[in-house]
Amino acid sequence: MSSHLLSVDSLSRDDVDHLIRVAARMEPIAQRRKVTRVLEGAVLGNLFFEASTRTRVSFHAAFCRLGGSVCDTTGFTFSSMAKGESLYDTSRVMSGYCDAIVMRHPEQGSVAEFAQATNVPVINGGDGPGEHPSQALLDIYTIDKEFARRGKQLAGAHILLTGDLKFGRTVHSLIKLLSLYAPMRITLVSPPGLEMPQHLVELVASRGHRVETREHLAADFSDVDVVYTTRIQKERFTAEMSEGFSLSRDYTVDKAFMDQRVNDHAIVMHPLPRDSRPDANDLDVDLNGDPRLAIFRQTDNGIPMRMAICATPLQV
Ligand code: NCD
């Protein structure tokens, strides 16, 4: 495993399984039932040039739980990039201040460019519509835990990925991680124009998985094990795409969909945030309190998994 985590491409199945095992061992520390100072003296640089709540705060909390401390900068306005500083210079400077860096940036490939200029481990916290490897790792950790509780296996599972599969970086990383496991069935449902990039569909199919596409959610999904839904990434739309775009209820995951089209043992996941504004038709709040809704167990899992991600390259 390389010391940077820029894309899930650098992870083997063994690496993922190792991180899952380390995350499980981190759980009591994440919940403060145990204390460690294993990263005492280490400093994490949190550089977020795009909106974030979960990723930024959970990396911060994870690093503090390990005994380290965090310095950060949020938004272009409050960093020297507003004065024209390059990624290269920012990277060289930050490397002198920090032992590891998490970076989020609106341009695909920018975090990899940043990582080239530094010798400290860099974690991609989301590069535009590119990838979001730590989210995919906490997602697979969540699936593993939820399946273990239900006596299910990932091999042969049926996973439904829905929403904005074109710009949703979490599903780009997740589908590649899933493809490292024994063959499963993956169904893709997205509004027209927001389909999963073809190269990812081909990659996953070439690894022996059955990948199918459905036009909308008004179909039979009664053997689905995981419904993974995502927000429409309107901020990444071109002006042409934005014009007149509205998402119909045909793509909404709600209680009626889960009761009528799915089953009572599937789980519902979402990387969050969900768009709760009227007409957004994102994951419905009527599933709040439904045991199938795993979204807040998923966010909780972000801490132990991000502890595992930070601890591993720093030689814990
Ligand atoms: C996602 C992201 O930023 O890619 N959020 C997250 O990190 N959990 C999903 C999104 O913005 O829709």
Q: Would you say residue 140 has pLDDT above 90?
A: yes
State if residue 124 touches ligand 1 by the CB under 6 angstroms criterion.
no
| Helix ranges restricted to H, the chain | 13-30, 54-65, 87-95, 110-116, 133-150, 169-178, 198-206, 239-242, 255-260, 295-311
The pLDDT, as a whole number, for residue 78 is 77
State if residue 271 touches ligand 1 by the CB under 6 angstroms criterion.
yes
State if residue 54 touches ligand 1 by the CB under 6 angstroms criterion.
yes
Q: Where is average pLDDT lowest: 7-21, 70-84, 115-129, 234-248?
A: 70-84
pTM to 2 decimal places: 0.96
Measured by CA distance, the residue closest to atom 6 of ligand 1 is 271
Mean pLDDT of the 294-306 span: 98
The pLDDT, as a whole number, for residue 279 is 87
Percent of all residues in the chain with a pLDDT value above 70, rounded to a whole number: 98
Pocket test for ligand 1, best of 135, 167, 296, 298 (most atoms within 8 A of CB): 135
The pLDDT, as a whole number, for residue 241 is 94
Evaluate whether 284 touches 91 at the Cβ level (below 8 Å): no
Atom of ligand 1 nearest to the CA of 51: 3
Q: How far is the CA of 126 from the centre of ligand 1 (A)?
A: 8
State if residue 128 touches ligand 1 by the CB under 6 angstroms criterion.
no
Q: Would you say residue 286 has pLDDT above 60?
A: yes
Q: Would you say residue 163 has pLDDT above 60?
A: yes
Q: Which amino acid is at 54?
A: R
Average pLDDT, the chain: 95
Check residues 279 and 203 and name the one with the higher pLDDT: 203
Closest CA to 293 of 316, 262, 270: 270
Mean pLDDT of the 206-213 span: 98
Measured by CA distance, the residue closest to atom 1 of ligand 1 is 271
Percent of all residues in the chain with a pLDDT value above 90, rounded to a whole number: 91
Pairing of strands 122-127, 158-162: unpaired
> 41-98 pLDDT, tens per residue?
999 999 999 999 999 999 999 999 999 999 998 888 878 888 899 999 999 999 999 9
CA–CA dist 141, 67 (Å, integer): 23
Q: Would you say residue 314 has pLDDT above 70?
A: no
The pLDDT, as a whole number, for residue 168 is 98
Q: How far is the CA of 82 from the centre of ligand 1 (A)?
A: 24
Confidence of residue 2 (pLDDT cuts 50, 70, 90): low
